[in-house]
Amino acid sequence: MAAIALKTQATSKLLHLNGSMSVVYIKAANYSSDRKPNLAAYKRGTGGRSSFNGIVATVFGCTGFVGRYVCNKLGKIGTQLILPYRGDFYDAQRLKVCGDLGQVLFTPYHLLDEESIAKAVRYSNVVINLVGRDYETKNFKYNDVHVDGVRRIARLCREEGVERFIHLSYLNAEEHPKPLVLKKPSAWKISKYLGECAVREEYPTATIIRASDIYGSEDRFLRSLVNKMRSHSNLMPLYKNGLATVKQPVFVSDVAQGIVNAARDDDTKCEVYQAVGPKRYLLADLVDWFYKLMRKDEKWGGYIRYDMKYDPILPLKVALVNAISPAYPLGNLHWEGIEREATSDNVVIGVPTLEDLGVTLTHMEDQVPWELKPFRAHQYYMDRLGEFPKPDPPPVYSA
């Protein structure tokens, strides 16, 4: 019997369990509405950007840090991309080269405009939500983006019959976080937790990926710590001198690969994955290593790391930066960012990680030296081969 590709049609059922009503999302992929084969669903090509693998993916947050990597990896395997964008089209236009001609489509949208969101997901079988906000502005607060916006996207995906929904969250999101640097619980962590709850309510079969601090080109982890705005010349204030914070950073390409692998595997429905790196480090050891890579150790004058509670300059600098540039904190210097910097990564034993998605994790000692090379001191000094020994990687935290 000849095989034919048939257009999918979504249905939903209401089930009464233990006296309460639950929404169970069921996908029926038997026939199209007009009972005709949908030839556009055929896989075409031998693989690669010039092929079509049968997946039509909408990526919200495509112009962001993680979104660019996800779009590249999806286009590389022949995925047709629908990329919603907000603001200037030219910010998203560079993603056109992720796929072959006709495989990358753009559509304007707004988080408050349900029709534009529905239009963006109507023809997709996979929707990936990477929308996030590191700092609040007058137009978008944390709850507007992480809770209400996510709920709206998830609900419209369910109503439009989208087969898969993947949501990127935060590893340390919780309902009642303990304040470390701030005087009250972090609104960012709370909004991320409430966003996960909203996704589960609106789209029960969603896949949630909880990521730790993500590093890579144009990141906001490495570049926040080594930025000149973060330190005072050779003085580096850290929460409890960096000795009370344990980090497990993950490379952005690994996170993107995990999202792509989850999109291609139906067994990842209803699952939660932790996107963390292969090793754990003390923040103090990481910062020491960063400054050695930037040639700011003892040979070049050294730097002093100390507890930020003894620093009267940092609060004034943060207040000044946010007063001068409220729409975009210079050097990513703001209190919520410093709170996340001071937060230890809480990896739950037994919860699957990126390795369970088939991702080979990248080690920091293999990638970070290349990422920090533009920040080296005395860039124009022509050092002799072997003049500067390669710094030893930071010790792994084993407690």
Query: Could you tell me the CATH number of the domain that includes residue 251?
Result: 3.40.50.720
- Please report whether residue 387 resides in a domain: no
Element (H, E) at 256: helix 252-263
Which range of residues forms the domain containing residue 290? Answer: 132-375
What residues does 136 pair with on adjacent strands? none
- Please report whether residue 206 resides in a domain: yes
- Please report whether residue 173 resides in a domain: yes
pLDDT value, residue 140? 92
Rounded Cα distance, 165 and 208, in Å:
9
Q: Mean pLDDT by 10-residue block, N- to C-terminus, for the chain (399 residues)?
A: 37 43 42 46 77 93 96 95 94 93 94 96 96 92 96 96 96 96 96 97 97 95 93 91 96 97 95 97 95 70 85 94 88 94 95 96 95 85 82 90
* Radius of gyration, CA atoms only, the chain: 23
- Please report whether residue 156 resides in a domain: yes
Closest CA to 313 of 230, 240, 242, 220: 230
What residues does 24 pair with on adjacent strands? 13
Rounded Cα distance, 216 and 230, in Å:
18
119's tokens: 């239009």
Q: Is 164 left (phi over 0), alpha (psi -120 to 50) or beta?
A: beta
Give residue for tokens 């789209």.
Answer: 203
Q: At what angle do helices 150-159 and 187-202 cross, to 10 degrees?
A: 10
- Provide the 3-class DSSP secondary structure of residue 254: helix
132 near 64, Cβ under 8 Å? yes
- Please report whether residue 67 resides in a domain: no
Rounded Cα distance, 70 and 61, in Å:
10
Q: Where are the alpha helices (DSSP H) in 107-240?
A: 114-121, 142-143, 150-159, 187-202, 222-226
- Please report whether residue 349 resides in a domain: yes
CA atoms within 13 A on the CB side of 337: 22
Rounded Cα distance, 93 and 373, in Å:
28
Q: How many domains does the chain have?
A: 1
- Please report whether residue 169 resides in a domain: yes
Q: At what angle do helices 335-342 and 187-202 cross, to 10 degrees?
A: 80
325's tokens: 């540039």
- Please report whether residue 236 resides in a domain: yes
How far, CA to CA in Å, does 359 sit from each of 50, 98, 140, 241? Answer: 24, 21, 34, 33
Provide the whole-model pTM.
0.88
Give residue for tokens 């003894």.
Answer: 310
225 near 239, Cβ under 8 Å? no
